[in-house]
Amino acid sequence: MSDPSPNPPTSRLDPGVGPGRFDFVHFLKANLDHPDFLQHVAKRPEADGRQRFEMLRPVRAYYVEWMIGTIWRQYDEFLLEVKEAMASPDFVNNDEWSGRYKRLVKKMDKYLRWHNRCYTEDMEMAQAPTVPQHCMDNDLRYHLLRPGQGDYHPNGLPRSEYGGHGDRVSESFAAVSEVDDNLLRDFLLKRVIVPLHGQYVGLKKRYCELRGRDAGNCDHEISDLPLDAAAHFLLCLSGAVLLIGSVILLSTLSSKKYKLVAATFLTLAFSLPVSFLGQKAFPAFSLMAAFWAVIVVYIATSSYDGACSSLAIDRYG
């Protein structure tokens, strides 16, 4: 495994970089080498790792602040000049003073707006989510590290800066969209889908080699549809088990005190999975809870009507 936190070159003028790396033809070739990758990140923005450029953002902000300080000094000098001119008996109020003042305020407004934009953009980039580990490995690195894809990312940077499969994701890579932190989905992906996919690809390649056939592109990407379907099924199954288990447990308890204590712990047991299974679990659990509330009311009403009918028959024959 390579360095867990690959860092870009400290200087773009390093001897090993070379000037050709930053010309337009190099950039265009890097784009043409990854048509599948560009289409993939268009569908999965959470796998589109963007550079934060943490070192360049303060450079821009500090330059703008320096310019604002310079304009502030010019403004103070202008006020002092106007004050001295007004103290002279030869002072003449003409359009020159208003014109200079207007140009100075416009310049001030330009750089203050620039400063506000820098602050907003830098704050948004700092708060942007980091690319999730499974998205970095199974989406971005999967496409970049495939044979025949060139040695560079579509932005022209070496693909080695994005690390190898399994390397820790650097905080320098921000995701365009935040992905739902679903532990169940991550568990299925890392512990079930990826190992099975690796075994399938290995067996297919061996079979093709034994038969003397071309394996082609065996290492196709993992589809999200079966993964999301399996995660959603297990999510609903866990909610249904918790609900039916709660109803059965409460129905077996005779004491009201024990039922209240059990209901308290069952409420915690039912709500905790929502915290660990991501935001998408909340609508599913809410729908199941509402459905079970209707079912319980129906069962209770049916049982009550049945008991009343039996009592009437016994009493009045």
Q: What is the 3-state secondary structure (H, E, C) of the chain?
A: CCCCCCCCCCCCCCCCCCHHHHCHHHHHHHHHCCHHHHHHHHHCHHHCEEECCCCHHHHHHHHHHHHHHHHHHHHHHHHHHHHHHHCCCCCCCCHHHHHHHHHHHHHHHHHHHHHHHHHHHHHHHHHCCECCHHHHHHHHHHHHCCCCCCCECCCCCEHHHHCCCCCCCCCCEEECCCCCCCHHHHHHHHHHHHHHHHHHHHHHHHHHHHHCCCCCCCCCCCCHHHHHHHHHHHHHHHHHHHHHHHHHHHHHCCCHHHHHHHHHHHHHHHHHHHHHCCCCHHHHHHHHHHHHHHHHHHHHHHHHHHHHHHHHHHHHC
Q: What is the mean pLDDT of residues 272-277?
A: 70
Which pLDDT does position 10 carry in this prediction? 43
Res 311 pLDDT > 80 = no
pLDDT band at 292 (very low <50, low <70, confident <90, very high): confident
In-domain check, residue 261: yes
Which pLDDT does position 7 carry in this prediction? 46
Whether residues 163 and 259 share a domain: the answer is: no
pLDDT band at 118 (very low <50, low <70, confident <90, very high): very high
Whether residues 118 and 135 share a domain: the answer is: no
Res 221 pLDDT > 60 = no
Whether residues 27 and 72 share a domain: the answer is: no
pLDDT tens-digit series, residues 173-208: 998 887 655 666 666 666 666 666 666 666 666 766
In-domain check, residue 6: no
Res 163 pLDDT > 60 = yes
Q: What is the mean pLDDT of the chain?
A: 77
Residue with tokens 């009437």: 312
Q: What is the mean pLDDT of residues 120-138?
A: 87
Whether residues 147 and 273 share a domain: the answer is: no
Closest alpha carbon to 132 in 198, 180, 164: 180
In-domain check, residue 37: yes
Whether residues 47 and 60 share a domain: the answer is: no
Closest alpha carbon to 169 in 7, 30, 41: 7
Higher pLDDT, 46 or 196: 46
pLDDT band at 22 (very low <50, low <70, confident <90, very high): low
pTM value is 0.60
Q: How many domains is the chain built from?
A: 3
Range of the domain at 44: 19-52+129-175
Q: Among 2-6, 117-121, 235-239, which range has the highest average pLDDT?
A: 117-121
Which pLDDT does position 16 carry in this prediction? 47
The HSE-up count of residue 209 (CA atoms within 13 Å, CB side) is 7
End residue of a domain, out of 149, 175, 201: 175
